[in-house]
Amino acid sequence: MPDSFLKGRMRSVGIALRGLVSLFRSEPNMQVHALAALLVTGLGFLAELSPVEWILQNLAIGLVIGLEAINTSIEELANKVESRQDPQIKRVKDYGAAAVVFAAVIALITGGLLYIPRALSLIS
Ligand SMILES: Nc1ncnc2c1ncn2[C@@H]1O[C@H](COP(=O)(O)OP(=O)(O)OP(=O)(O)O)[C@@H](O)[C@H]1O
């Protein structure tokens, strides 16, 4: 494999990581998602999730954080394209927000399925 190929890939990963750090620093929604992800990861260790349960939980976390990143990216572009009120920009932003909310509901349901039975078995 040529050296320049590996250097190019490493550069791309570096740029992506810089984007991730910038997102977590500047976006309050991202900070909330990150906190939630840390909390449920801790909860996962406490609850001794099975490997499949870890995979499901991590997919739910990845779905929410990934879609929030894309939504933020769309918002930035929309703000650059049109700063005035515009019905199409409104739809673009609303659809992006809808994607995040949809993922968050799926994540909540996943969390409920993983933890509510355990909580109930602790009580009974
Ligand atoms: N240029 C615009 N034209 C029309 N409606 C807009 C415009 N900008 C924002 N909106 C409306 O306001 C809502 C919030 O937009 P805003 O850019 O403030 O997103 P946000 O609150 O930063 O989103 P998030 O909470 O995901 O960070 C949009 O979903 C849209 O309905």
- Give domain status of residue 99, yes or no: yes
* Rounded Cα–Cα distance for residues 42 and 54 (Å): 11
pTM of the predicted model as reported, rounded to 2 decimal places: 0.90
Catalytic residue list contains 68 = yes
- Give domain status of residue 59, yes or no: yes
Q: Is 82 annotated as a binding residue?
A: no
Q: How far, in Å, is the centroid of ligand 1 from the Cα of 59?
A: 27
Q: Which atom, in ligand 1's list, is nearest to the CA of 97?
A: 26
Look over the chain and give the mean of its residue pLDDT values, rounded to a whole number: 96
Q: Domain of residue 113: give its range.
A: 28-123
| pLDDT of residue 87 exceeding 90 | yes
| Whether residue 94 has its Cβ less than 6 Å from ligand 1 | yes
Question: Can you give the pLDDT at residue 3?
Answer: 82
- Give domain status of residue 22, yes or no: no
* Residue 103 exposed, middle or buried by CB count within 10 Å (0-12, 13-18, 19+): buried
- Give domain status of residue 65, yes or no: yes
The total domain count for the chain is: 1
Residue 42 maps to which CATH number?
1.10.287.3610
**For the chain, percent helix, then strand, then coil, each to nearest 5?**
90, 0, 10
Q: Which atom, in ligand 1's list, is nearest to the CA of 83?
A: 1
- Give domain status of residue 20, yes or no: no
- Give domain status of residue 56, yes or no: yes
Summarised one tens digit per residue, pLDDT across range 47-64 is 999 999 999 999 999 999
